[in-house]
Amino acid sequence: MPTKYLLDESQMPTAWYNIQADLPEPLPPVLHPGTHQPVTASDLEPLFTPALIEQEMTTEREVEIPEPVREIYKLWRPAPLYRAYGLEKALGTPAKIYYKYEGVSPAGSHKPNSAIPQAFYNKEAGIKRLTTETGAGQWGTSLSFAGAHFDLDVTVFQVSVSYQQKPYRRAVMETYGAKCVASPSELTEFGRQVLAETPDHTGSLGIAISEAVELAVKDPDTKYALGSVLNHVLLHQSIIGLESMQQMEMAGDWPDVIVGCTGGGSNFAGIAFPFIGQALRGGQKSRVVAVEPSACPSLTRGKYAYDYGDTAHMTPLTKMHTLGAHFTPPGFHAGGLRYHGMAPLVSHIKELGLFDAVAYTQKQCFEAGVIFARAEGIVPAPEANHAVKGAIEEALRCKREGKEEVILFNLCGHGHFDMAAYTAYFAGQLSDHEYSEEELAMALSGLPSL
């Protein structure tokens, strides 16, 4: 039996899948931050090009992947699907474990799946520059890579604490020719305002988003790019699940359980939505599990409510599972999962009861990641360790119950730029934070009243 299932480039999907076509209830509308009325396409034009706005709003089931995007996808796609023989053996489980590996992209994660089309549509529209934010750096790296391909200037606002702590991610962005700035910065009014109040502010994703948005709004040649949360980002990531479906068929198996980790929701949606959609259309149903960090528990302990995406309240209001736009999670190492909100589509589908969510602490997740690395060779990113932990828990349940279930999870990235976190884990320096009800209630008290 093969260890990995590879698709030929000719088998790469030619269209992304949009789950909005198959939902029993439509997504609640996005609201304008000023008027609180549903946004129109023109409201979004200062931020995004028309092609991406159309993708944000469409309910068509299939959206064609442009040929130039497919050409660049081929640098790493189709991505491999592995049978985790080593992990199965290490756990002694009767379950069959498969994982889709998105760490083969040049940026090391699933993020280029959306960065490439976002850069492409902006280039097509004559845009000269993209702005974005990044935390740990996965998304900033990916957009920098995409910018190099489509000859766009890219300015990345990196959360200051990460900018200082992770110089190597920044070095990758600069290698691709992007400009990486510590946020809060002197480049924007909002950044200067934050620095005037707190000169040594360590930054947050919410502030970095506000800065990136501000620059885009001010210059017609500049647009904003977001790496998760939005419908069009989730659409682009559907290629993960679409390929996985073909590969599971090659393997002659079908997942009983699908596991993904959730921060903003894009890699989880990428693997899960094509399967959920097929089940909604009458196909075989898989149980789907989202795994999030206990220290940023938007799906398991957040409120499903309208909230802002950023700190300066410049973004539209979306209905989502949120911990409040001013919620600042502790500095745990899965930087990609430290966002206060959840993708509106993921949140809506959670409310429809189409998947379960669980939360684990970072120590539990690193323990799982080390087991995985020793058994399978790949050192997962701290974010991906949450999916690994979820899959291991399912495999151990199968062992207890004597069930030969098929488990599929998304290994969304490698941990090459996160080894300091592993060092801290081995040195016993990681701490876990579980929020009290009072702490979460306080964070949520700032939600906008509509």
Q: Is 176 in the site for a copy of itself (CB under 8 A)?
A: yes
Size of the site for a copy of itself (CB under 8 A): 45
Q: What's the CA gap between 265 and 253, in Å, rounded?
A: 26
Q: Residues 14, 59, 75, 125: which binds a copy of itself (CB under 8 A)?
A: 75
From the list 98-106, 185-193, 212-220, 282-290, the region that binds a copy of itself by CB under 8 A is: 98-106
Q: Residues 37, 41, 167, 281: which binds a copy of itself (CB under 8 A)?
A: 167
Which single residue is written with the structure tokens 């999030």? 292
Nearer to a copy of itself, 211 or 376 (CB): 376
Q: Is 250 in the site for a copy of itself (CB under 8 A)?
A: no
3-state secondary structure of 66: coil
Q: Is 164 in the site for a copy of itself (CB under 8 A)?
A: no
The interface with a copy of itself within residues 334-353 (CB under 8 A) comprises none
C-alpha atoms less than 13 angstroms from C-alpha of 442 in its C-beta half-sphere:
6
Q: Residues 36, 60, 168, 193: which binds a copy of itself (CB under 8 A)?
A: 168
Q: Is 136 in the site for a copy of itself (CB under 8 A)?
A: no
Is residue 324 within 8 A of residue 304, CB to CB? The reply is: no
Q: Is 171 in the site for a copy of itself (CB under 8 A)?
A: yes
Q: Is 127 in the site for a copy of itself (CB under 8 A)?
A: no
Q: Is 175 in the site for a copy of itself (CB under 8 A)?
A: yes
Per-position b or e across 370-407, b if 16+ CB within 10 A of its CB = bbbbebbebbbbbbbbbbbbbbbbbbeebeeeeeebbb
DSSP H helices in 404-448 = 419-426, 437-444
Q: Residues 74, 281, 285, 403: which binds a copy of itself (CB under 8 A)?
A: 74
DSSP class of 9: G
Q: Is 180 in the site for a copy of itself (CB under 8 A)?
A: no
Nearer to a copy of itself, 227 or 380 (CB): 380
Q: Residues 21, 148, 250, 279: which binds a copy of itself (CB under 8 A)?
A: 148
Q: Is 172 in the site for a copy of itself (CB under 8 A)?
A: yes
Among the listed residues 271, 331, 341, 349, the one whose alpha carbon sits nearest the alpha carbon of residue 27: 349
Tokens representing residue 14 in the block: 């030619």
The interface with a copy of itself within residues 365-404 (CB under 8 A) comprises 370, 373-379
Among the listed residues 224, 59, 249, 62, the one whose alpha carbon sits nearest the alpha carbon of residue 157: 224
Is residue 409 within 8 A of residue 390, CB to CB? The reply is: yes
Q: Is 177 in the site for a copy of itself (CB under 8 A)?
A: yes
Q: Is 9 in the site for a copy of itself (CB under 8 A)?
A: yes
Element (H, E) at 171: helix 167-175
Query: How many whole angstroms from its chain centre is CA 298?
Result: 14
Give CA torsion, residues 244, 333, 326, 20, to 10 deg: 0
Q: What's the CA gap between 391 and 375, in Å, rounded?
A: 14
Q: Is 439 in the site for a copy of itself (CB under 8 A)?
A: no
List residues binding a copy of itself (CB under 8 A): 2-4, 6, 8-9, 71, 74-76, 82, 86, 104-108, 145, 148-149, 167-172, 174-177, 370, 373-379, 416-417, 419-420, 422-423, 426
